[in-house]
C-alpha cells in the first residue's frame, strides 16, 4: 500500500478523487435539503390554502355539515374549538397525528352549530392546545393572519401518509374562536427526495471513477517526461558519462524548465570534472620536472659527491615547495573555504608587499576591506611577481576609493597583454610565452590564484592597458562596513 501511494501520480489521483467526492457529497446534501425545504413549503402553502378556505366558510356561518373542505379530496381537515374539542373532521378520517387532537370523530356541536348529528358522549379533547395560538384579537367573522405549520400523518380509507399541516384561527359570529387544521400530502416530497438520493448514490461512484481515471491519465501524461529524466539520470550515474543529457520536452512548463536546469547542471558538472582532470594532469606534469631534476642531482651526488650542485638542489626544492603551496591553496579555494572577516588596510598591505622589491613604487590612500590578510597578501604578491617579471624598469601600485569599492592597481611598463589573451591568462597553468622556461615563468598558477582569491572576497580582478603601455591589473573589493 505504501508503494502504491508513494508516487506523485497515485497521490494526485487520490487527492483529486477525495476533493471531488467531498464536493459532490456536500453539494448533494445541499440539493436534497433545498429540494425537501421547497417541496415542504409548497405542501404547506397548499395546506394553508385549504385551511383558510374552510375558515372563510366558518366565518360566513356555514354549518359544519355543509363545509366543502370536509369531503377529504384535498387532504384531512379538523375543526377544533377553544377548548380543544374536535367539532368537525373530514369524511373517512380514521387516524391523525401532528394536530391539536388525535380525535377523528367530532363531538355534538353546541347551540348555533347547525349540526343535529349525535356524537359519542364523554369524549375529551387533547391536552395539547395547537389551535394556532396566534394570540391575535379577532372580531366576529375575522380570520387570523398568522398560520402555524407542523408535520404529521393521517389515515384515510385505510391509507396512511405523511402530511404537512397548517392551522388557522377564525372568530365565528356564534361558535366562538375555532382552529382549522388542514393537511397536504408529502408523498411528492418523499418521492422526489428519494429519487434524488438514489440518483446521487448511483451516480457518485460512477462520477468518482471517471474523475479518478481522467486524473490518472492526465497526471501520467504530465509526469511521463519526469520518468524519462529519471531514467536518463540513472543511466548517467551508472555510466559516469557526464556528456549525456536528459531529454527536454517541447513544452514551456515546469517540467521543461526542470529538464533545462538539469542539463545546465550536468554541463557545469562536466566542465568542473574536466577542469579537475586537466588540473591534476597539469599539476602532475609541473611536479614531475622539479622532482626529476632533484632526483637526478641526488643520484649524481650519491655516485660522485664532488659533483653535487647544492644550489641547484635547493632551488629545485624551493620551487617544489612553492608549487605544492600553490596547489594546496587552489584546493582550499575550490573546496569553498570562506575567507576570514578581519579588517585589512590595503594601503598598508601594499607597502608591506612592495618593501624590498626594486623598481616598485606605491601611491596608496588608507582603504579598509574585510577578508583574509594572508590570502589578500598572496594575491598582491602574485601580481607584483608577474608585473616585475614583465616590466622593463618600473612597477607602480595604487590604492584608492571608487564609490563603495576599494580599487588596487598594479601596473608595469612592459609589453602588456593582448586583448585576446586578457581572460586566458587567468586560467591555471597557462603561459603566454611557450618558449619561456619554467624557471623564469613559474608554473602559471599565480594569476589563477589571484583571481580565485578576489572572487572569494566578493570582488573582481581584471587586466587592461596601463598608461605606460604595459599591463594594468585592477582588483576591486567591497569596502569594509
**3-class state of residue 92 by DSSP:** coil
Q: What's the pLDDT score for residue 240?
A: 82
pLDDT digits (tens, 9 = 90+) for 212-242: 999 989 888 888 888 888 888 898 888 888 8
CATH architecture label of 254-334? Orthogonal Bundle (1.10)
Give the per-residue pLDDT at 469.
84
SS3 per-residue string spanning 20-53: HHHHHHHHHHHHHHHHHHHHHHHHHHHHHHHHHH
The CATH code that applies to domain 342-478 is 3.30.565.10
DSSP-derived secondary structure letter, 157 = T
Sorted by where each begins, the domain ranges of the chain are 1-111+131-232, 254-334, 342-478
Distance of CA 27 to the CA centre of its chain: 27
Query: CA nearest 145: which of 55, 83, 226?
Result: 55
Q: Torsion-angle region of residue 240: left (phi > 0), alpha (psi -120 to 50) or beta?
A: left
| Residues whose CB falls within 8 Å of the CB of residue 154, separated by 6 or more in sequence, listed in order | 75, 76, 93, 95, 96, 97, 160, 161, 163, 183
The three grid cell numbers given for residue 158, joined into one nine-digit string: 385505510
Helix, strand, coil share of the chain (percent; to 5): 50, 20, 30
| Residue 159 near residue 145 (C-beta atoms within 8 A) | no
pLDDT for res 454: 92
pTM over 0.95: no
Q: What is the pLDDT of residue 109?
A: 55
Residues whose CB is less than 8 angstroms from the CB of residue 213 and which lie 6 or more positions away in sequence, other chains included = none
Q: Are 180 and 54 in contact (CB under 8 A)?
A: yes
Mean pLDDT per block of 10 residues along the chain (481 residues) reads: 64 90 92 91 92 91 87 83 90 89 79 41 36 67 91 89 93 90 90 89 90 89 84 87 86 85 89 78 73 80 76 77 78 74 92 91 93 91 91 93 94 90 85 50 77 92 90 94 77
Amino acid at each position: 500500500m505504501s508503494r502504491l501511494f508513494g508516487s506523485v501520480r497515485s497521490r494526485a489521483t487520490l487527492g483529486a478523487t477525495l476533493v471531488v467526492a467531498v464536493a459532490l457529497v456536500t453539494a448533494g446534501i445541499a440539493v436534497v435539503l433545498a429540494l425537501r425545504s421547497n417541496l415542504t413549503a409548497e405542501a404547506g402553502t397548499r395546506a394553508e390554502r385549504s385551511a383558510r378556505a374552510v375558515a372563510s366558510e366558518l366565518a360566513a356561518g356555514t354549518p359544519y355539515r355543509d363545509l366543502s373542505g370536509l369531503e377529504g379530496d384535498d387532504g384531512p381537515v379538523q375543526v377544533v374549538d377553544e377548548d380543544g374539542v374536535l367539532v368537525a373532521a373530514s369524511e373517512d378520517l380514521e387516524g391523525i397525528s401532528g394536530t391539536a387532537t388525535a380525535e377523528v370523530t367530532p363531538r355534538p356541536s353546541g347551540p348555533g352549530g347547525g349540526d343535529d348529528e349525535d356524537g359519542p358522549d364523554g369524549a375529551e379533547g387533547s391536552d395539547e392546545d395547537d389551535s394556532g395560538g396566534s394570540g391575535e384579537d379577532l372580531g366576529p367573522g375575522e380570520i387570523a393572519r398568522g398560520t402555524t405549520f407542523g408535520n404529521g400523518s393521517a389515515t384515510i380509507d385505510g391509507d396512511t401518509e405523511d402530511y404537512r399541516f397548517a392551522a388557522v384561527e377564525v372568530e365565528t359570529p356564534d361558535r366562538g374562536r375555532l382552529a382549522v387544521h388542514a393537511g397536504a400530502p408529502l408523498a411528492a416530497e418523499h418521492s422526489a427526495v428519494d429519487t434524488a438520493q438514489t440518483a446521487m448514490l448511483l451516480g457518485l461512484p460512477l462520477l468518482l471513477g471517471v474523475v479518478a481515471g481522467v486524473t490518472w491519465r492526465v497526471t501520467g501524461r504530465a509526469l511521463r517526461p519526469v520518468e524519462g529524466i529519471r531514467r536518463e539520470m540513472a543511466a548517467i550515474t551508472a555510466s559516469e558519462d557526464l556528456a549525456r543529457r536528459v531529454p527536454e520536452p517541447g513544452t514551456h512548463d515546469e517540467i521543461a524548465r526542470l529538464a533545462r536546469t538539469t542539463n545546465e547542471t550536468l554541463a557545469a558538472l562536466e566542465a568542473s570534472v574536466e577542469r579537475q582532470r586537466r588540473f591534476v594532469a597539469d599539476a602532475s606534469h609541473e611536479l614531475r620536472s622539479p622532482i626529476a631534476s632533484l632526483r637526478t642531482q641526488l643520484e649524481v651526488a650519491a655516485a660522485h659527491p664532488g659533483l653535487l650542485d647544492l644550489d641547484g638542489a635547493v632551488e629545485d626544492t624551493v620551487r617544489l615547495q612553492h608549487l605544492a603551496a600553490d596547489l594546496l591553496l587552489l584546493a582550499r579555494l575550490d573546496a569553498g573555504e570562506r575567507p576570514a572577516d578581519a579588517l585589512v588596510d590595503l594601503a598598508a598591505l601594499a607597502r608591506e608587499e612592495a618593501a624590498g622589491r626594486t623598481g616598485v613604487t606605491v601611491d596608496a590612500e588608507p582603504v579598509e576591506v574585510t577578508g583574509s590578510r594572508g590570502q589578500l597578501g598572496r594575491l598582491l604578491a602574485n601580481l607584483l611577481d608577474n608585473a616585475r617579471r614583465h616590466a622593463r624598469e618600473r612597477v607602480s601600485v595604487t590604492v584608492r576609493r571608487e564609490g563603495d569599492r576599494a580599487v588596487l592597481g598594479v601596473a608595469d611598463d612592459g609589453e602588456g597583454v593582448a586583448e585576446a589573451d586578457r581572460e586566458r591568462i587567468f586560467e591555471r597553468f597557462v603561459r603566454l610565452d611557450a618558449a619561456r622556461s619554467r624557471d623564469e615563468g613559474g608554473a602559471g598558477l599565480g594569476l589563477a590564484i589571484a583571481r580565485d582569491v578576489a572572487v572569494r572576497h566578493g570582488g573582481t580582478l581584471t587586466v587592461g592597458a596601463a598608461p605606460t603601455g604595459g599591463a594594468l591589473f585592477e582588483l576591486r573589493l567591497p569596502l569594509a562596513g
